[in-house]
Amino acid sequence: MQTDWDLVIIGAGCSGLSLALNLTKTQGASPKTLLIEQRKTFENDRTWCFWGADDAPYADLINKEWGRVSLCLGGLALDLDCKQAPYKCLTSSIFYDHAITSIKEQKSFELKLDSTLLEEPILKEGLWHLKTSFGHISSKSIVDTRPLATTELNKTKLWQSFLGLEVECEQSVFDPTCALIMDFLQPNTKLIGFNYVLPMSGKKALIEYTVFSAKPMSRLELTNSANHAALKYTKGASFEILRSEYGLIPMGIGSSLKAKQHGKQHMSYVHVGLTGGAARPSTGYSFQRIQTWAARCADSIKFAGIPIPNSKDNFVIKKMDHIFLTVLGTYPLLGPELFMKLFARVPTPKLIRFLTDKGTLLDYAAVVGALPKLLFLKVCFKLIFQ
């Protein structure tokens, strides 16, 4: 294997593979790229969901889409039509297979599995030097997708913790035409908990227990509630658990942590991914945001020779998300009601545009108008004088 590279991508998850895929489309100018990944094999460990029409990135790879979604709180249920921008689901195994196949077809790309960094990269005489488990290498630039440790994310406003179980029943019990995106548990003063059901067919579904809380929760802490959710939605039918997926998403990372970037302060080194600003702070949605970044980053590498970090949200979105997360963190008991009001009072097309970073000022106004004004003004006042 060669030792000198134009670009090293540390981590071959969603961000790393998405950037590599975009670079493979750079005809005649693909940089010599190495992807370093610590896992030995790729497994079906994630499910990415996003709203969008058929021209959305990788919409051709999706497993399933729904033209209807629903939310529930106690005896109240909302059923929303989203056919103009269906809710789409893509399992990681399909995306991984597509990406790896595309990368292997490129002579200037190499993917090293079961590989780790033994020391942090060092910049010397214009090149980054990396000591890895397979030897010493150098690179002109680095895209680092490794997540920051939770101990470094002490300014994160909320954590989204989830455990999903993909189940298959002996008989049909699910409605495959509608995705249940939020079925709230009993409101309490410590966290916001809800179940999430993606029916792939009448017999198969991903059933997920999700929590918004001040601290991240472990797989073990979520297991009991996830099992109860599986029993609830399978309605007494016999079922088999095909696989599980567990994850943590930081919601509202402190800007000082973004700037830290593992101590690297050079334009040829960027830290991206979930702890680099890939996820929308108020929702945790990340897949399409990653695709937007990956396309822009590939263009920057092609034309300027340097990678770029995840884009910052515009001022209005940044402030709205910050205020909303502060409200949820301060008043978790009210969280389920706030989400129900948001989806009930904002026209679905406007809300989807807002959630997918395509909102207009009128969409922002509709979101603000749907939420309790006195409560949010009270929080704004506190934030101003903190």
pLDDT digits (tens, 9 = 90+) for 105-149: 888 999 999 999 999 999 999 999 999 999 999 999 999 999 988
CA 285 from centroid of its chain's CA atoms: 5
28 plus 106 within the same structural domain: yes
Tokens of 21: 């895929």
CATH number at residue 200: 3.30.9.10
- Residues 13-35 as b/e (b if ≥16 CB within 10 A, e otherwise) read bbbbbbbbbbbbebeeebbbbbb
50 plus 131 within the same structural domain: yes
**Of 208, 231, 251, which residue constitutes the final position of a domain?**
251
pLDDT, mean of residues 352-359: 92
57 plus 143 within the same structural domain: yes
280 plus 133 within the same structural domain: yes
Domain that holds residue 265: 4-66+90-151+253-304
* Beta bridge pairs of residue 9: 35, 143
CATH number at residue 108: 3.50.50.60
Is the pTM higher than 0.85?
yes
Whether 135 is in a domain gets the answer yes
pLDDT at 386: 62
Whether 82 is in a domain gets the answer no
26 plus 164 within the same structural domain: no
pLDDT digits (tens, 9 = 90+) for 276-320: 889 998 888 999 999 999 999 999 999 899 999 998 888 888 889
Distance between CA atoms of residues 108 and 374, nearest Å = 58
- Within 8 A by CB and 6+ apart from 106, the residues are 24, 30
3-state secondary structure of 152: helix
Whether 80 is in a domain gets the answer no
Whether 145 is in a domain gets the answer yes
Tokens of 328: 């949820």
168 plus 241 within the same structural domain: yes
pLDDT, mean of residues 30-42: 94
Number of Cβ atoms within 10 Å of the Cβ of 245: 19
243 plus 263 within the same structural domain: no
Question: Which residue type occupies 26?
Answer: T
Alpha-helical (H) ranges within the chain are: 14-24, 92-104, 219-233, 255-260, 287-304, 315-330, 335-345, 348-355, 361-370, 373-384
Question: Structural domain tally of the chain?
Answer: 3
Is 165:225 a contact under the CB 8 Å cutoff? no
51 plus 114 within the same structural domain: yes
26 plus 126 within the same structural domain: yes
41 plus 166 within the same structural domain: no
Whether 51 is in a domain gets the answer yes
Whether 272 is in a domain gets the answer yes
pLDDT of 255 > 60? The answer is no
**Of 210, 234, 251, which residue constitutes the final position of a domain?**
251
Tokens of 45: 């460990």
